[in-house]
Amino acid sequence: MTGTMTGEFSQLLLGVCAGALLAMAAAMLRAPRPAARWSGFAFFFCSAMFALKLWNDITHAMPQELRFVIGVVAITSVGWFWLMVMALFGDLDRYRPVMFLAPIAMGLCGLGNFMHWDVFAPYFWAFTTLLQGALAVMSIVIVMRSWKDDLVESRRRLRGPFMVAVGLYILSLNGFDIVEMLGTTPVWYPMLNAGLLASITVGGAFVFLDPREAMFGAEPAQPHDPNAPVATPAKAASPPPETPAAPVLDRAEKADLEKLECLMSKDQVWKEEGLTIASLALRVGVPENQLRRLINDCLGYRNFPSYVNAHRIAAARSRLADPGESRVSISTIAYDIGFASLGPFNRAFKEELGVSPSEWRRKALEESSPIPESV
């Protein structure tokens, strides 16, 4: 009797999970950024299929063909979760095609696991478990690394903990899969699994049923350019988006903002390698959360590295366009402005301006030294 009631309660929880996850998938279609919108929709939709799969594991109510389709779709949710993390915490606005190999590989693993090839079954299972674990660990690392640099307080309080909880849940599934392969699954596992999934789903509903721009990292109107007069050579100018009304600051906040701008522009603290928002808050003399709000609301940056790199890239543009520094190597300039190595500098520069530093220098020097017309 107790087992029957437990099974019925698990079914109820999983049914509620499936409905809530489908609602979150629909809500994600209103997310402001396309990368977060579509990866979020795919993740929540496939997660709903996972809840249905767990429900069918208890009831065995679905025909074999439908069970096969739902199982394959469900297993891709881990790949979509990683892509969603990259959009939300890596601030990616466009995926590289190779990144879609994550959900594709998970889908192929699902196909292999359903084929019942006795010889290859252990290999498919091992590869699936390793891939799921690797994607979950990478996702957690990305979330934790970006959490401290996020300047939007609502995202830091809600979004990060939820995504970490999802990653840990995926790892727990892997752990129970290993236990199942080595012995017998505990009788209480289905109930525990349904309860964990329901808890995470309820937490996710508070975050993702209302895809506000701040929560999902909509591009700010126009970040403050530390060195606006420097033009971008050979790059078509695009009209800036409409700038919303500036936040109203009291006298103390204006003084804090002026001190911040002085530290960045006059003292050039951005040159310091390893500069953190905590150390900068100490210099400004304000709490860390207040500094986050000033940089985000008043200057328009989503995360701290983009704010610091804007000053570094502005300095790099000036030096690369200076004929007097044409013989200074790009790596020397990168180290001088605070980058620990050349690779991160090249990526940040190209992300900001759309061209590599060497290409920028070549075009800038060509424009500053025009060939005189022949008489």
* Confidence band for 231, pLDDT divided at 50, 70 and 90: very low
Residue 126 belongs to domain with CATH number:
1.20.1070.10
* Confidence band for 135, pLDDT divided at 50, 70 and 90: very high
Task: Decide if 225 is inside a domain.
Answer: no
* Confidence band for 33, pLDDT divided at 50, 70 and 90: confident
Q: In the block, which residue shows the tokens 């402001």?
A: 32
**Interval 80-93: pLDDT, tens:** 999 998 888 876 77
Instruction: State which of 191, 216, 241 marks the end of a domain.
Output: 216
Task: Decide if 94 is inside a domain.
Answer: yes
The boundaries of the domain holding residue 74 are: 2-216
Closest by alpha carbon to 238, among 353, 333, 335, 319?
A: 353
Q: Angle, to 10 degrees, between the axis of helix 77-89 and the axis of helix 34-59?
A: 150
Q: Does the pLDDT of residue 254 top 80, yes or no?
A: yes
Task: Decide if 162 is inside a domain.
Answer: yes
Looking at residue 158, what is its pLDDT?
Answer: 65
Give the CA count within 13 Å in the CB-facing half-sphere of 236. 1
* Confidence band for 74, pLDDT divided at 50, 70 and 90: very high
- Same domain? 185 vs 308: no
- Same domain? 264 vs 202: no
What are the angstrom distances between the C-alpha of 327 and each of 65, 167, 234, 332, 345? 67, 48, 22, 10, 18
| DSSP secondary structure code for residue 271 in this structure | G
Looking at residue 173, what is its pLDDT?
Answer: 85
Instruction: State which of 200, 216, 232 marks the end of a domain.
Output: 216
Alpha-carbon span 232 to 230, nearest angstrom: 7
Looking at residue 239, what is its pLDDT?
Answer: 40
Q: Which of 83-97, 158-172, 238-252, 259-273 has the highest mean pLDDT?
A: 259-273
Alpha-carbon span 248 to 114, nearest angstrom: 59
Q: Does the pLDDT of residue 223 top 60, yes or no?
A: no
- Same domain? 184 vs 284: no
Instruction: Tell me which long-range contacts 176-182 makes (C-beta under 8 A, separation of at least 24).
Output: 177/125, 177/129, 178/129, 181/125
What's the N-to-C CA distance of the chain in angstroms? 103
Ramachandran assignment for 235, one of left (phi > 0), alpha (psi -120 to 50 degrees), beta (any other): beta
Closest by alpha carbon to 301, among 314, 310, 313?
A: 310
- Same domain? 257 vs 210: no
| DSSP secondary structure code for residue 357 in this structure | H
**Average pLDDT for residues 88-100, to the nearest whole number?**
83
**Interval 157-170: pLDDT, tens:** 666 788 888 988 99
Q: What is the mean pLDDT of the chain?
A: 81
- Same domain? 110 vs 192: yes
* Confidence band for 134, pLDDT divided at 50, 70 and 90: very high
Task: Decide if 242 is inside a domain.
Answer: no
Task: Decide if 238 is inside a domain.
Answer: no
Between 246 and 161, where is the model more confident?
161
Q: Among residues of the chain, what percentage have pLDDT more than 90? A: 22
Q: What is the count of structural domains for the chain?
A: 2
| DSSP secondary structure code for residue 239 in this structure | P
Task: Decide if 333 is inside a domain.
Answer: yes
Q: Does the pLDDT of residue 112 top 60, yes or no?
A: yes
Q: Among residues of the chain, what percentage have pLDDT more than 70? A: 82
Alpha-carbon span 299 to 291, nearest angstrom: 11
- Same domain? 38 vs 137: yes
* Confidence band for 232, pLDDT divided at 50, 70 and 90: very low
Instruction: State which of 216, 232, 265 marks the end of a domain.
Output: 216
**Average pLDDT for residues 37-47, to the nearest whole number?**
93
**SS3 sequence of 240-298:** CCCCCCCCCCCHHHHHHHHHHHHHHHCCCHHHCCCCCHHHHHHHHCCCHHHHHHHHHHH
- Same domain? 296 vs 345: yes
Task: Decide if 229 is inside a domain.
Answer: no
Residue 353 belongs to domain with CATH number:
1.10.10.60
- Same domain? 53 vs 139: yes
| CA-based max dimension of the chain | 103
What are the angstrom distances between the C-alpha of 113 and each of 105, 106, 127, 204, 255? 12, 11, 10, 29, 62
- Same domain? 255 vs 212: no
* Confidence band for 154, pLDDT divided at 50, 70 and 90: low
- Same domain? 256 vs 210: no
Alpha-carbon span 127 to 121, nearest angstrom: 10
Q: Angle, to 10 degrees, between the axis of helix 251-265 and the axis of helix 277-284?
A: 120
* Confidence band for 275, pLDDT divided at 50, 70 and 90: confident
Mean pLDDT is lowest, of 85-99, 238-252, 351-365, for: 238-252
- Same domain? 137 vs 280: no
* Confidence band for 78, pLDDT divided at 50, 70 and 90: very high
Alpha-carbon span 126 to 116, nearest angstrom: 14
Looking at residue 242, what is its pLDDT?
Answer: 44
Looking at residue 220, what is its pLDDT?
Answer: 44
Looking at residue 103, what is its pLDDT?
Answer: 94
SS3 for 303?
Answer: strand
SS3 for 150?
Answer: strand
Other C-beta atoms closer than 10 Å to the C-beta of 157 total 11
* Confidence band for 138, pLDDT divided at 50, 70 and 90: very high
Q: Are 314 and 299 in contact (CB under 8 A)?
A: no
Task: Decide if 222 is inside a domain.
Answer: no
What would the two tokens of residue 252 be? Answer: 């103390």
Q: Are 194 and 14 in contact (CB under 8 A)?
A: yes
- Same domain? 49 vs 176: yes
Other C-beta atoms closer than 10 Å to the C-beta of 354 total 13
